[in-house]
Chain A
């Protein structure tokens, strides 16, 4: 198995593989720090507390997670045809890419976790801001952030790869079915929120379920995405 070649395929351009996500993350963090400094200086203690609470839901961390979501798409959309062009087998590509997904998820999960530990220890970098310590990466202990971020990144990569592989195989008709199916799932949920008190109560219960069940949900998506991807990639053809 020429897995090393597949890993090299994904990581040969170091700036693209590691540099840009970290540079964009740093820029986003800098922006959050500037905003935090302005709010603390202008608004005082009350504003600091309110900002800290509100920033639990800040999506600034997606400056890092966003490009990683795209990684699953590019793995199949751009690297798979090239891998076949280099005479690598689908099995080798899948094994190597899975390894890269795992490595990427672990690397960035460790970065986020270190960031969170520093952020918490310094009281939000001395400004009460939140960048790493947010709901998407886990508000609990550091190890929970490590696991949650790892699972989240790994899951989105697998789902992205699965969607791209399905598009690769069935083309535009898959996208139509995918978006219609997604709309059919989302519409009843939105309708339920708007029209049904019972549904809102039920959704509240789901939202309040513990950390472990939520990790189970993410893992479930990862298993479905990964299983679909591995099943489809075995018969994927060059386009």
Chain B
């Protein structure tokens, strides 16, 4: 069943189109990665899907209904956002008490365990907490709420590597015990790559790629070897990235049937491309093509003038 379905979802601000005709379909009870560079529209998409902002145009269905002012949908949704502001006079314990009342599936015993695990000083004023401790509040709420639809927007800013690993382990363990739909937005792509079952990559407000992570393993391959051999092999193939160092070169390309065998026969080394590398290739290639299109448009404008 589909947890989230958007069609042509657009959000424009006076200066910029934060989202531009986004169409995605996210199945329920899976962990989805929402990836993109800064300003790609990830947070805006999650804000739209949780009814925090209004769409300029397009349609969205969340858990079978529109999320805007919909108690039935929003009571089953938790959105942990990196930019969440808490009243300065609040303590962490105040935020957790409100969360306990707001989410029907809240597990207090689990929340208490997480508070201890992340060493969260619950009686300290929010304004005196570190960035990592603020993130820990969000993690406790996001996990202990056990909401059928959970959004995490950069949930571990400021957390050290140990705490981040703890979060991944907790997320996976709790998800296994209590399956639900999780949408995880992050820049630490390699750290979460093994968690993700499905990925949406946004770039400049548009969907650049939407695919299952299993399919992505075959989406690109990196070959390396002598530059002349690499260039000869790449001829006629779709190249995502190419780097040269002296007489050696490395290139990532979209493979076709038989390409792996052909590369080996050409004496090239093969390695699978990581999700992060693929993300970097796709977004930089998209930025380059956008810049090229802009240059062509400017040149054309100048010619008309």
Q: Which residues of B contact A85 (CB under 8 A)?
A: 52, 79, 81, 84
Chain A nearest CB, measured from B111 CB (Å) = 15
Interface residues on A, range: 20 to 34
Within 8 A of B (CB), among A85-120: 85-92
Q: Which residues of B contact A9 (CB under 8 A)?
A: 98
Q: Which residues of B contact A87 (CB under 8 A)?
A: 50, 74-75, 77-79, 102-103, 147
Interface residue B302 (Cβ < 8 Å from any Cβ of A): no
Within 8 A of A (CB), among B110-155: 147
Task: Assess the A238–B52 pair: CB atoms within 8 A.
Answer: yes
Task: Given the known inter-chain contacts A84-B51, A85-B79, A89-B51, please indicate yes or no for A8 contacting B98, CB distance below 8 A.
Answer: yes
Task: Assess the A12–B85 pair: CB atoms within 8 A.
Answer: no
Which segment, of B86-94, B173-181, B256-264, faces chain A? B86-94
A88 contact from B53, B81, B84, B102, Cβ within 8 A:
B102
Within 8 A of B (CB), among A23-55: none
Task: Given the known inter-chain contacts A13-B90, A237-B53, please indicate yes or no for A8 contacting B71, CB distance below 8 A.
Answer: no
The residue on A at minimum CB distance from B89 is A16
The prevalent SS among residues of B at the interface is: loop
Interface residue A4 (Cβ < 8 Å from any Cβ of B): yes
Q: Could you count the A-B residue pairs with CB atoms below 8 Å apart for me: how many are there? A: 71
Please report the C-alpha to C-alpha distance between residue A69 and residue B81 in the assembled complex, in whole angstroms: 30
Interface residue B97 (Cβ < 8 Å from any Cβ of A): yes
Task: Assess the A2–B47 pair: CB atoms within 8 A.
Answer: no
A2 contact from B54, B69, B75, B97, Cβ within 8 A:
B75
Interface residue B101 (Cβ < 8 Å from any Cβ of A): yes
Please report the C-alpha to C-alpha distance between residue A16 and residue B94 in the assembled complex, in whole angstroms: 11
Binary contact readout B189-230 vs A (1 if CB under 8 angstroms, 0 otherwise): 000000000000000000000000000000000000000000
Please report the C-alpha to C-alpha distance between residue A79 and residue B97 in the assembled complex, in whole angstroms: 15
Q: Which residues of B contact A (CB under 8 A)?
A: 47, 50-54, 69-71, 74-75, 77-79, 81, 84-91, 94, 97-99, 101-103, 147
